Amino acid sequence: MTAAAHPTAPAQRYEPVPLLQGKVVVISGVGPGLGRSLVAEAAMMGADLVLASRTERRLEEMAELVESHGRKALIVRTDITDEQQRTTLAERAVAEFGTVDCLINNAFAIPPMNPVSTIALDDLRTANETNVFAPLRLTALFADALAASGGSVIMLNSCVSYSSQPEYSGYKLSKGTLQHLASSLATELGPRGIRVNSVAPSYIYEDLNKAYFDWLAIQAGVTHDDIYREKAAPTDLRRLAGPEEVARAALFLASDLASAVTGQMLTVDCGEFHR
């Protein structure tokens, strides 16, 4: 089986439904992989999108994708670690659409993959600026708009929170903190009608991880398929989730079907971890 041939059969049977019809969704980190799938799936569910990224060309490509599904897109070039740019993002979103129904904090940074005690503090601070402080500030800046709409916040977390391998420890530090942040925000913002939830994927079978599997295969002297089977073996379904599957699970939390769901972390990992 080649790298391109690993199926996600349930995803292939999926037909979009208008769960987000008429809603406005803000997404940070709209790059390839999961970011692109979040944009595409939200548009196919009927949402208009506010797209945030540091790269203008990527934003333009994502806007074309949204418009190809008949929805509106506002692009705002944003470094989410910069407070003024975060403020501008929130102001422009409300000025353009008059409302915001969901904020998806998808952007992330990975510190060096070394034991946490050996990672320079500046590298850990840099990762936390993107993975923790930016989601906190964006949530605060969008809180009034979300309270007005009865909206929600979704934090893209990771199953790395359930792992203890030394090479993942720096990333786990920030994602574990993000999980606790989301829980605290759910309690703080709940009285204002704002739901806050998290989504934790394991390995997502998309281009970045496909390239990583290629590298692992070269290092081990095995094939890409061998690495795929190794990573899929701990899962109940014996496969890895595709980015569109993770996106759909996340967007369920943005829909009215999840109107009573808050303070939760939904694990999307084909059954690798039972939580």
Which CATH number goes with the domain that contains 127? 3.40.50.720
pLDDT band of residue 101 (cuts 50, 70, 90) is very high
* Tokens read off for 3: 């790298």
Domain carrying residue 199: 19-204+241-268
Residue 1: the pLDDT is 43
Query: What pTM, to 2 d.p., does this model score?
Result: 0.93
The CA distance from 266 to 177, in Å, is 16
For residue 27, which phi and psi values (nearest 5 degrees)? -130, 125
Residue 13: the pLDDT is 77
Rounded to an integer, the average pLDDT of 181-196 is 98
Residue 169: the pLDDT is 94
Rounded to an integer, the average pLDDT of 193-199 is 98
Residue 11: the pLDDT is 54
* Tokens read off for 196: 């806050």
Task: Report whether pLDDT(131) > 80.
Answer: yes
Q: For 44-73, write each residue's pLDDT tens digit.
A: 999 999 999 999 999 999 999 999 999 999
* Structural domains in the chain (count): 1
Q: Which region holds residue 222: left if phi is over 0, alpha if psi is between -120 and 50, else beta?
A: beta
Residue 129: the pLDDT is 97
In the DSSP assignment, the letter for residue 20 is T
Tell me the residue type at 202: S
First to last CA, the chain: 31
Maximum Cα interatomic distance, the chain, rounded to a whole number of Å: 56
Rounded to an integer, the average pLDDT of 83-108 is 98
The CA distance from 176 to 185, in Å, is 14
For residue 11, tell me if it sits in a domain: no
Residue 10: the pLDDT is 58
Q: For 207-266, write each residue's pLDDT tens digit.
A: 989 999 999 999 999 999 999 999 999 999 999 999 999 999 999 999 999 999 999 999
Beta-bridged to residue 170, according to DSSP, are none
pLDDT band of residue 186 (cuts 50, 70, 90) is very high
Residue with tokens 């980190």: 29
For residue 26, tell me if it sits in a domain: yes
Rounded to an integer, the average pLDDT of 90-117 is 96
Residue 6: the pLDDT is 56
The CA-atom distances, in angstroms, between 162 and each of 34, 87, 171 are: 20, 33, 12
Q: What is the pairing mode between strands 73-77 and 102-105?
A: unpaired
Of 156, 137, 215, 132, the closest CA to residue 31 belongs to 156
**Secondary structure class of 270 (helix, strand, coil):** coil
Rounded to an integer, the average pLDDT of 158-178 is 94
pLDDT band of residue 3 (cuts 50, 70, 90) is very low
pLDDT band of residue 14 (cuts 50, 70, 90) is confident
Contacts of 107 (CB under 8 A, 6+ apart): 28, 29, 52, 53, 80, 130, 134
Residue with tokens 């993942």: 168
Rounded to an integer, the average pLDDT of 157-173 is 93
Share of the chain above pLDDT 70, in %: 96
The CA distance from 33 to 79, in Å, is 19
Residue 198: the pLDDT is 98
For residue 235, tell me if it sits in a domain: no
